[in-house]
């Protein structure tokens, strides 16, 4: 990854009566615009995310989605849907005077304003994907982490962990809410890399981060991403973005977003450039995944081509 840099511009953008986004711009003021979309939803961006891009070539835009990171109000679920996030991207693009930009990471944007897509750890919010991670699949691979994850939930409620957590993450009791938020966040941090990262585990123990990350993520999951089950893999939906050059980077041992979903995307969108990293889990900072992401950003992503 590139050496650390500082932003030359940072600000706040009011996107509704409720929400104000925090954003920053770094790199080359006249460079090729690229917007970085963080995970979660609810995770917020990290200063290290600037280092995926060549600062001489790119105008690098990072921002915290509604309720995440330094956006306010923190952990707010009101007016926080997939389609609100799409509108926010358009507001930010217009605010910064960008015509079209490259989209890097994941999440959502308007197809006619996207030069290219570089996406990692494919997740389409199908019920089967949610069941695998939060109900059926990962307990066999991470039994010790699973036991910690289910611990806050009464045994009679464990048949639907997402719904059970929803109740606790929205509790009026601060202690109940924060305990649940930390357990939810720790579970994802403990399973997102091939080798568990102590720094990620420590982050999950921070009240503000855990509260925003867990509440917003669970809010999207309990509402099925505010779309039809499987909508993002439907041919008529893919046809809207099929013209956009797209590169997918997927860790073979990603249990948060298993490779079967990335492969399902490849089958309905065969034009994409598809990479399986054989020794990686989910995190963008797995060495093999980070190397590929940085490599494609070196190539300046001309419109109409990924490389």
pLDDT tens digits for range 113-159 = 899 999 999 999 999 999 999 998 888 899 999 999 999 999 999 99
* Residues in CB range of 225: below 8 A, 6 or more apart: 82, 125
Q: Which residues of 68-81 are buried (b: 16+ CB within 10 A; e: fewer)?
A: bbbbbebbbbeebb
DSSP H or E segment with residue 249:
strand 246-251
- Helix, strand and coil content of the chain, in percent to the nearest 5, comes to 40, 15, 40
For residue 3, what is the DSSP state? P
Q: Which domains does the chain have, with CATH numbers?
A: 9-124+230-298 (3.40.50.1820), 127-226 (no CATH)
Structural contact between residues 295 and 303, judged by C-beta atoms closer than 8 angstroms: no
Handedness of CA 201, 204, 205, 206 (dihedral sign): positive
Q: What is the pLDDT of residues 176-205, one digit of tens each?
A: 999 999 999 999 999 999 999 999 999 999
User: Residue 88: which of 16, 146, 139, 1 has the closest Cα?
Assistant: 16
**Does residue 299 have a pLDDT over 70?**
no
Structural contact between residues 69 and 44, judged by C-beta atoms closer than 8 angstroms: yes
- Per-residue pLDDT band at 305 (split at 50, 70, 90): very low
What would the mean pLDDT of 152-171 be, rounded to a whole number?
Answer: 97
pTM of the full predicted structure?
0.92
At 119 the pLDDT is 92
* Residues in CB range of 176: below 8 A, 6 or more apart: 168
Structural contact between residues 43 and 106, judged by C-beta atoms closer than 8 angstroms: no
Category of 75 on φ-ψ map: left (φ > 0), alpha (ψ -120 to 50) or beta: left
Catalytic amino acids?
107, 254, 282
Three-state SS sequence of 170-233: CCCCHHHHHHHHHHHHHHHHHHCCCCCCHHHHHHCCCHHHHHHHHHHHHHHHHCHHHCCCCHHH
The β-bridge relationship of strands 273-277 and 246-251 is parallel
Average pLDDT over all residues of the chain: 93
Structural contact between residues 136 and 151, judged by C-beta atoms closer than 8 angstroms: no
What would the mean pLDDT of 223-252 be, rounded to a whole number?
Answer: 94
User: Residue 192: which of 30, 29, 40, 21 has the closest Cα?
Assistant: 40
Handedness of CA 109, 110, 113, 117 (dihedral sign): positive
- In this structure, what token pair is assigned to residue 115? 């030069």
Structural contact between residues 23 and 199, judged by C-beta atoms closer than 8 angstroms: no
């Amino acid at each position: 990854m590139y050496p650390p840099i500082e932003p030359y511009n940072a600000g706040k953008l009011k996107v509704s009566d409720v929400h104000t986004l925090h954003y920053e711009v770094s790199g080359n003021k006249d460079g090729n615009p690229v917007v970085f979309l963080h995970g979660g939803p609810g995770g917020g961006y990290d200063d290290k995310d600037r280092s995926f891009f060549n600062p001489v070539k790119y105008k690098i835009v990072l921002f915290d989605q509604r309720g995440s990171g330094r956006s306010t109000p923190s952990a707010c679920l009101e007016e926080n849907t997939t389609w609100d996030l799409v509108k926010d991207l358009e507001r930010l693009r217009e605010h910064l005077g960008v015509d079209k930009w490259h989209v890097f990471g994941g999440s959502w944007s308007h197809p006619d304003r996207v030069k290219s897509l570089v996406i990692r750890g494919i997740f389409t919010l199908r019920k089967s994907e949610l069941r695998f991670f939060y109900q059926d699949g990962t307990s066999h691979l991470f039994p010790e982490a699973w036991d910690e994850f289910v611990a806050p939930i009464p045994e009679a409620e464990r048949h639907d962990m997402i719904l059970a957590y929803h109740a606790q993450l929205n509790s009026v009791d601060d202690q109940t809410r924060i305990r649940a938020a930390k357990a939810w966040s720790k579970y994802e941090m403990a399973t997102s890399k091939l080798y568990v990262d102590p720094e990620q585990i420590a982050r999950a123990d921070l009240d503000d981060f855990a509260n925003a990350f867990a509440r917003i993520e669970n809010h999207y999951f309990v509402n099925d991403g505010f779309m039809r089950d499987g909508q993002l893999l439907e041919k008529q939906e893919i046809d809207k973005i099929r013209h956009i050059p797209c590169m997918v980077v997927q860790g073979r041992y990603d249990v948060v977003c298993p490779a079967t979903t990335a492969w399902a995307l490849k089958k309905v969108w065969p034009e994409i450039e598809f990479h399986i990293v054989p020794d990686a889990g989910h995190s963008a900072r797995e060495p093999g995944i980070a190397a590929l992401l940085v490599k494609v950003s070196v190539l300046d992503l001309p419109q109409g081509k990924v490389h």
